[in-house]
Amino acid sequence: MFIDIPRELESALIDRPLPTWELDGSFLAKSTIERYRTELTATARFEETTAKLRHALTGEGGGYAVLRLGNLAKTLRTDDDRFLRLATAFATEVAAVPFSPFPRWPLWKDIGVKVDKDPGKSSGIGYNAFHMDLVNATLPPDYTTLLCVRPDPLGGGPSILSDAHAAVTRLSENNRALLAESAYHYGTFFDLFGVGEEYKPFPILDGSDPGEGFVRFTAKMLERSRLGQAHADAARELAAELVRGQVSFMLQPGDYLIVNQRRFLHGREALHSGQETVPVADRRLLLQLFLRAGVGDGPAA
């Protein structure tokens, strides 16, 4: 699931600046996607690398990948627009359209560290339990992606991932039936674009064939939503199975994590204690980008 960029491809990408992207609403314009593909497919070993990426995300047993862009990040710097254009171009090769569901945010959204934020939030300092992004939308992003600019300088905050469908298979039949009922709700829903309507209440299991479809889960709803005892217990059993099957790793500068939300859920271990002593400019920083499957389908409604 870790994909290194061949040296000859790195060298070629450094010398191949991509044009500034254009947006169609909150989606990356089709013309930009086509231009990026034209620019890069002729580059040695680009198609080979992106084929590995697609297989890691959608092949049997897959569901996430970490594209190792660290050498490119060192040369171009992660805050350089040229580097973000390359990362965006790789994202489009997942057969997906990058977009921002938050009209008030740019295409790539900063996720920094705020010591006074709710510790369980993405920008908090505590344990960020397993979840899918935009769980309460009828059309959540098919992929969520995180580009590491800086890891926690104190050494905390490894990413955690778990195969949601594998976890579901380990549940009792009764609990799977409870999770398929529209009894769950979490969060608010406003000022969003391209993710459909609010889904409330929603089932955790969407009725697709086993191993397919979203597992609409966020561990936060166990504490912040009113659930009946039976439905809460079923969700807690799923949460325990997700933890039991988790993998964890530390993202390094330039690492680009892409998660297929129809297969895997993600989260993060707590950051190391003492974050208040770290200057804001030195704290952990990720950039988030969402992807909608289906380049040929155009922007979703």
**Token digits of residue 212:** 């397919």
pLDDT at 46: 96
pLDDT at 95: 86
pLDDT at 77: 84
User: Is the separation of the CB atoms in 242 and 167 below 8 Å?
Assistant: yes
* Number of folded domains that form the chain: 1
- Scanning the chain, the segments in alpha helix (DSSP H) are 7-14, 30-41, 46-58, 70-76, 81-92, 164-169, 173-179, 221-224, 229-244
Query: Is residue 201 reached through a cis peptide bond, with omega within 30 degrees of 0 on the bond before it?
Result: yes
pLDDT at 294: 76
Name the nearest CA neighbour of 205 among 260, 267, 135. Answer: 135
Helices 7-14 & 46-58 angle (0-180, nearest 10): 110
Task: Show Cβ contacts of residue 230 under 8 Å, excluding neighbours closer than 6 positions.
Answer: 178
CATH of residue 235? 3.60.130.10
* Cα–Cα distances in angstroms (integers) from residue 184 to residues 9, 63, 167, 296, 298, in the given order: 46, 24, 18, 33, 31
The type of residue at 15 is D
Task: Show Cβ contacts of residue 5 under 8 Å, excluding neighbours closer than 6 positions.
Answer: 13, 49, 67, 68, 69, 71, 72
Name the nearest CA neighbour of 66 among 257, 275, 301. Answer: 257
pLDDT at 9: 96
User: Is the separation of the CB atoms in 133 and 260 below 8 Å?
Assistant: no
Cα pseudo-dihedral 206, 211, 194, 110, rounded to 10: 120
pLDDT at 223: 85
Range of the domain at 145: 2-294
Asked whether residue 187 is assigned to any structural domain, the reply reads yes
Asked whether residue 301 is assigned to any structural domain, the reply reads no
Pairing of strands 264-268, 159-163: antiparallel
Asked whether residue 299 is assigned to any structural domain, the reply reads no
pLDDT along the chain (301 residues), means of 10: 95 93 95 96 94 95 96 88 95 94 93 94 95 96 97 97 97 96 92 95 86 91 88 97 98 97 97 96 97 61 36
pLDDT at 296: 41
Cβ-based neighbour number of residue 121 at 10 Å: 13
pLDDT at 187: 86
User: Is the separation of the CB atoms in 154 and 277 below 8 Å?
Assistant: no
Asked whether residue 93 is assigned to any structural domain, the reply reads yes
**Token digits of residue 177:** 């039936």
Q: What is the DSSP letter of 93?
A: T
Asked whether residue 215 is assigned to any structural domain, the reply reads yes
Q: Which residues are bridge partners to 65 per DSSP?
A: 258
C-alpha R_g of the chain: 19
pLDDT at 226: 85
Task: Show Cβ contacts of residue 116 under 8 Å, excluding neighbours closer than 6 positions.
Answer: none
Q: How far apart are CA 293 and CA 291, in angstroms?
A: 6
